[in-house]
Structures are given as C-alpha cells and as structure tokens.
Structure 1
Amino acid sequence: MGSVTVLVLVLIGVLTGLTTVLFGFGGGFVTVPVIVWADAALGSAAGTVAVATSAIVMVVNAAVATTATPRVVLARLRGRGALLGLLAAGGLVGALTAMAVPAEVPSWGFLIYVAVTIIDVLVRPGFLRPVGLTHDDTSQRRIPTACGAPIGAVASFLGVGGSVMTVPLLRRGGLPMGHAAALANPLTLAISIPAAAVFLLARHTTNTDGAVFGVGIVDLGAAALLLAGAIPIIVLLRRRPPRIPDRAHAWAYVALLVVVLLAMAASLLREG
C-alpha cells in the first residue's frame, strides 16, 4: 500500500467521521468506493472486500457515535427491541448472500441503489421539507417493525449500513435531520455487527496481493487507516455539534449521495 493510498484512506476516514455524525452513514457509502479503488489489484474481488471492510468500519464508527448521542434522542428507540432484532437478522442474511454471489453484484447493486435513492428523496415529498406532525402523531415517526429485516438485508448486502433507508424514513416521519442522523447510528450498529462477524469468519479464495487481510475477507489495513481519521472527528463533533439549518442539512445529504454515486461509477468503469 503506497503512501498516497495511505493518505487518501486517512482523509476519507475524516470524511466518514463527518458523515457518521451529520448523516448517520457510519461510513458505508463513502468507504465502499474508496476501498474498491484502494484494493483495485484484487480485480473483481475488490467489491466483496470493500463491503466486508466497510462493515467493520461501520461497527466502530456507529458504536462511537451512538455512545456519544444524547440519551433523550436515543430514548426514541425505547421498546424497539423487535425492530433491532430484525435489523440484525437481515444484516446476517445480507452478509451471507453477499458471500454467495459474484463480487460484481453487490458493487453494481450499490450503484443502482444510490441512484434510486437520489431520485426518491428529490421526487417524493417529506425529505427536503419534512411534513409537520402534531404531538399526538408520534407513531408515524417510527420505522415499522416489519421493515427491519429487508432494511438489514439490503444494507448488509450492499455495504451501505442502512442509514440511506432509515434516515429518509425517519425524516418523512417528521424528525429533523439532526435527530434522524443520530438515530441512524444505533440502527446501523444493529445491522453491521452480525454482518461484520460473517465477513471476519469468511475464507477468502482470491489473490490477496494489494490488500492487508487480517481476518476473513476484511482488509484490516484499510479499515485501520479509515478509523484513524474517523474516530477523532466523531468524538469532536459529538462534543461540539455543528448548527446547520435543517433544509441545508437535507440538501447536503442529497449532494453527498451524488458525489458517492459518481465516485463508485468511476471505480467500476475503471475496473471494467
């Protein structure tokens, strides 16, 4: 791994710290494209390695962010054990499925899903300008329990962590972006823990030149560099959260999705 790659991974780690706090991403949307790039020497296997490594990064980032989240915000998840359990079960299924299909499938699925999400948040009402709910409408702010398994499965399969689904759902339930992003972190944690366990226990059957494989199919070298940049930023911003107007916060979420879409498309086209 060259010095330029090391520097890029640390800087991208800083960006994942920002996205974890501001958007609840945990790192998935940002780390997958950059790991595909960093591990391009693995060829078609780079996509699978990227998803696996992303899961490890998301576990740590989401755990740190959740620990620093105010208890009054986390209280919204009280009594949601069934949802968290189904998210975890879906995460397990998604990770196992990602291991069973060609590496290109999760990579291109990632690209397609980001594109669909961008269109969805721009076209459908309730994200850029949240609907107003009264105090008695709190049930509408909750993610339906039945959605847990499919959210977990898709997020784990694509390596996106789940925030790209949970944040819009919470947003359309009337929550401000700050609260929706904060709640996305514990939900991401529920998904990524079983997924990370699957990837750590997996056996890799590809040439490992160009990546540091510590355990399973996870590039622990890349993960460590990403976390070195991310964790200090998460701790700093949780202690001193930035004040961003809600509408600008929502537009920044969309803008980041567009950047990630372009980065992933460039990586896949270069690989092809």
Structure 2
Amino acid sequence: MSLLMLAVLGCMTGVTTVVFGFGGGFVVVPLVYHLLISSHSPGEAGHDAAMQIAVGTSTAVMVITASLATFKQRNAGKLVTGYIWPLAGYIALGAVGGAMLGSVMSSDAVRVAFIAYLGLTIADCLLREGFLRTAGQNKGRLHAAPFKGIGIGIVATMLGVGGSVMTVPLLRRSGLSMAQSSALANPLSIPVALTGSLMYGITGQLETQGISSGFLGYIYLPAFALLSVGSLIGVRLALPLAGRMPDRLHARIYILLLVLVGLALAFK
C-alpha cells in the first residue's frame, strides 16, 4: 500500500468520524499496521513495533479529526453537551495509563487485545439490550462516571480507538440516539487523542531502539500527514450526512464496521 493511497483512505476516516464517532482509530490502526508490516523487515523498529506505531499514529490523526468534527457539530447544535464533563476529564486521566501500558506490551499483544476487545464489544451490542434499539429515555447523566471514564481512557489509548467503541454503547444505554451518541464520541475522543499523542511520542523515543527519521516516537509522520489531509476532506463531505440515517440502521452499520475492522487485523 502506497503512502499516497493513505490520503484517499483518510477520507474514509473523516466520514466515519462524523457519522459513527470513530475518531479515525478503526480505520487508521489497521491501515498503518499493514503498511508497516509490508514495508519493514523483522528486526526493524517499524516491523517489531508496528502495532504501537499504528496506535500512536492513530491518536495523532484523531487530534485533527475529532477536533474538527467537534467544532463543526457544536456549531450545528448536534452536541448534547451535558454528557461531556466531567467524563472527558476522567477519560484523560485513564489515557495516561493506557498509553504507558500499550507502549510496554509487544506489538502482537496489542493486536490481539484490539481484536479481542472488538469481539467483546460486538457481542455486547448484539446480545445485551439497549444498543440496537434504545428505550428513548434520556437519563441526562451517566452513573459511575469516574470508574467508566478512567476505564474508557485506558482501553481507548492502549488500542488507539478514541473511546468511541466504549462511549457510543454507553451513551446509547443512557437513552441517546445513535446520531447523538456518535456526535458526542468526538469531544470525548479528544482527551484520548491529545494524551495518547504526547505519551506515544515520548515513550516511543525512549523505549524503542532504531526509530529513524520519519518517526516522532511511535508516530509515523508521513502517514499522519497524509491521513490528516484526507480525513479533513472526509469530515467536510460527511457533515451533511450526520443525523440523517434511521437510528436502528445506524446501529447495525456501526456493528458491521466493527466486524470488518476486526477481520482486517485478524489476517496479517
């Protein structure tokens, strides 16, 4: 896969950020992982730390995509702002631990954890009530926000997914629609993106020998630049689509995308 192709696929990142609140992680992580595996040999940092680099690059791209999507959706009045704070603060706290944990794990361990968590999330969405069809009763607040927020921050930053895989089902079960939940996933991904980018940039530089030019710690700068440009275009293209999809169809496509990402990472 060429780096130029990443710019095109970055548009997909922008679209999923707006429509599903993915923040880019579910597109960026598999793309960068396969790019690194195919372009580096075993024993090189780009190969042996491929999953950490994919995750670190994902968090950096999310700074751009989640911030722009949040700004646009806020101006359009699509954010239920009462759900953002203090949950975002607890997510930021957990993100520090998640980045530290992800940086010391092996690349294969992070990959297996990513796939396993996707599987658990898909099963939870399908088997437990409240996701495919919400009761429609807006609770106005989230219970046990500190525990949930820190947990989201740890898992999201370790796997580079921005937290949407956890926040969207959580918000759905709080009575919000898929459109509202997906929109809120973007501001709730910003703490993960900022903290993860900082931590992966530092820990990658300190812990991995052989990181060469083109990398800022675990952040692969050429991929970051091209994906960011493509994703900005995708965000702008997708904004008219936000909130227009029928709620249950929206939830089903969300689950389908999780399945496709899991399959993409399951096969090297």
- What is the TM-score of this pair, normalised by structure 2? 0.89
In structure 2, give the amino acid aligned to 1:119: A
Matched, 1:70 2:64: no
Counterpart residue number, 2:140:
138
Does 2:54 align with 1:54?
Answer: no
1:263 aligns with 2:259: no
Asked whether the equivalents of residues 94 and 155 of structure 1 are also in contact (C-alpha less than 8 Å), the reply is yes
Quick one: which amino acid aligns to residue 23 of structure 1? F
Q: 1:5 to 1:208 in 2, by over 3 A?
A: farther
Q: Partner amino acid for 1:76?
A: T
Would you identify which runs of 4 or more consecutive aligned residues in structure 1 move more than 6 Å? none
Q: Deviations over 1:14-50 (max 9, x none)?
A: 1111110011000111111111101111222101111
Indicate the residue corresponding to 1:222 in structure 2.
223
Which blocks of at least 5 consecutive residues in structure 1 are unaligned? 268-272
Does residue 205 (structure 1) correspond to residue 205 (structure 2)? The answer is: no
Q: Deviations over 1:195-231 (max 9, x none)?
A: 111122231624447x831x22210101111112110
Report the Cα offset of residue 145 of structure 1.
1.4
**Identical aligned residues as a percent:** 40
1:30 is aligned to 27
* RMSD (CA atoms): 1.9
Please give the residue correspondences for 1:39-50 in structure 2 after superposition, counting only pairs within 5 Å: 39-40=36-37, 41=40, 42-50=46-54
**Number of residue-to-residue matches in the alignment:** 257
The residue aligned with 2:117 is 113
1:62–1:188 Cα contact (<8 Å) kept: yes
1-structure distance, mates of 2:130, 2:208 = 45
Cα offsets for 1:46-73 (capped at 9, x unmatched): 0111111011011111001001013544
Pick from 105, 108, 112 the counterpart of residue 101 of structure 1.
105
Q: TM-score, normalised by structure 1?
A: 0.88
> How does 1:236-255 map onto structure 2 within 5 Å?
236-238=237-239, 241=242, 243-255=244-256
Of 183-192 and 236-245, more deviation after overlay is shown by 236-245
Q: Which residue of 1 aligns with 2:197?
A: 196
- What displacement does 1:90 show? 0.5
Counterparts of 1:160 and 1:87, CA distance in 2: 13
Task: Check whether the contact 1:20–1:185 (CA below 8 A) recurs between aligned residues.
Answer: yes
How far is 1:242 from its partner?
6.3
The 1:116/1:232 distance shift into structure 2, 3 A limit, reads same
Q: How far apart are 1:75 and its partner, in Å?
A: 4.4
* Matched residue type, 1:103: S
